[in-house]
Amino acid sequence: MPKAIPPKELIQWVPGEVLSTSEELGWKDIEQRSYRYKGQDVLIPPLDHFMIVCYYMGRTPMDRCIDEGWKRTACAPGDISLLTMSQDSHWHWTEEIDVSHIYLSNALMSRVAMDVMERPIEEVRLHDLLRRQDLILTSISGAITSEVCSRGIGGSLYVEALGMQLAIHLLRNYASVTFKERESPGRLSQLQKQRLLEFIDANLHNSIRLDEMADTVGLGAWTFSRKFSESFACSPHAFVTNQRVERAKRMLCEGSLAIKEIAYLCGFSDQAHLTRVLRTKLGATPAQLKRTNK
């Protein structure tokens, strides 16, 4: 099978006029691009995302071939096509059309599937649908497309929520899910704990989000939080804070760096934040810890 390509490279295989793109908006796990296409006959390599095609302008006969063979229909405004991840395809249409592509990452689809089904996921595949009318898909996809143009406040969070809704609707109606063998319930495995601790240690100077930790061990956020609490007897946030405190304490005891620099290297927003947390956790200020170990 050819190497899977990212959505931004699709235009190299299917030339068209770009009408909108989310490329510079910093969205996570979801992308959007709108195109104006003339009639074409194109072979498309596998994509590394799931693709939803929303037809907005123009009507055209549409043929597509994937593993199951050729399908023929006619697509018009309001119609939807689905293409699963890692699937090469052959498309043929004859008339000019305007379309919006919504791309969902495998990480998002697998994470949502794991959270709603509470089982580890081996693979998610979308059904071979060349034409379908679905008001929910159309509405969510339209809202994502509109956000690219409006760029309103809280755009990333808004699109993240829409992406979750879209993933759940696809899983309910248009997807096949293969499950992994069941893991031991309740706790993270030793390998997962090792990967997680390495990730936290390497990123302690940054803000560490719950979804980033969950991705590191291949779990959905809800499942990860539950297993983490069983494994470490505290919440992920409390654990990360404790790791920041331990690193700061160690660096203060060494005494070679300024308190402001230690606050930055340990992921605190500023020196005052470091002072508040150390006073709460250790009953001492950074300056007191420095003096104690001189």
Contacts of 15 (CB under 8 A, 6+ apart): 40
Instruction: Identify the burial level of 110 via C-beta atoms within 10 angstroms of its C-beta, where 0-12 means exposed, 13-18 middle and 19 or more buried.
Output: buried
Domain total for the chain? 3
What is the Cα–Cα distance from 215 to 134, expressed in whole angstroms?
30
Q: Is residue 2 part of a domain?
A: no
Q: Is residue 69 part of a domain?
A: yes
Domain of residue 228: give its range: 190-233
CATH of the domain at 124: 2.60.120.280
Give, for all 294 residues of the chain, the pLDDT tens digit: 568 899 999 999 999 999 999 999 999 999 999 999 999 999 999 999 999 999 999 999 999 999 768 999 999 999 999 999 999 999 999 999 999 999 999 999 999 998 888 788 888 999 999 999 999 999 999 999 999 988 888 889 999 999 999 999 999 999 999 887 655 567 898 889 999 999 999 999 998 999 999 999 988 888 899 899 999 989 999 999 999 999 999 998 887 889 999 999 999 989 999 999 998 888 888 888 887 765
Q: 36 and 82: one domain?
A: yes
Instruction: Tell me the CA distances in angstroms from 107 to 99, 122, 211, 242, one per residue in order.
Output: 25, 12, 11, 28
Q: 219 and 247: one domain?
A: no
Q: 72 and 158: one domain?
A: yes
Q: 54 and 89: one domain?
A: yes
CATH of the domain at 251: 1.10.10.60
Q: 115 and 160: one domain?
A: yes
Instruction: Tell me the CA distances in angstroms from 79 to 43, 133, 287, one per residue in order.
Output: 22, 5, 65
Q: Is residue 184 part of a domain?
A: no
| The total number of residues written for the chain in this structure | 294
Q: 34 and 124: one domain?
A: yes
| H helix runs in the chain, sequence order | 106-117, 135-150, 155-173, 190-202, 210-216, 221-232, 236-254, 259-265, 271-282, 286-292
Q: 202 and 60: one domain?
A: no
pLDDT confidence of residue 256: 81
In three-state secondary structure terms, 280 is helix
Q: Is residue 1 part of a domain?
A: no
Q: 45 and 115: one domain?
A: yes
Q: Is residue 169 part of a domain?
A: yes
pLDDT confidence of residue 3: 83
Spatial contact of 50 and 103, defined as CB atoms under 8 Å apart: yes
Q: 218 and 258: one domain?
A: no
Two structure tokens written together for 87: 């699937």
Q: 36 and 169: one domain?
A: yes
Spatial contact of 183 and 227, defined as CB atoms under 8 Å apart: no
Q: 26 and 126: one domain?
A: yes
Q: Is residue 248 part of a domain?
A: yes
Nearest to 33 by CA among 241, 278, 215, 49: 49
pTM: 0.64
Q: 142 and 217: one domain?
A: no
Nearest to 197 by CA among 154, 156, 143, 236: 236
pLDDT confidence of residue 185: 63
Two structure tokens written together for 266: 């340990």
Q: Is residue 185 part of a domain?
A: no
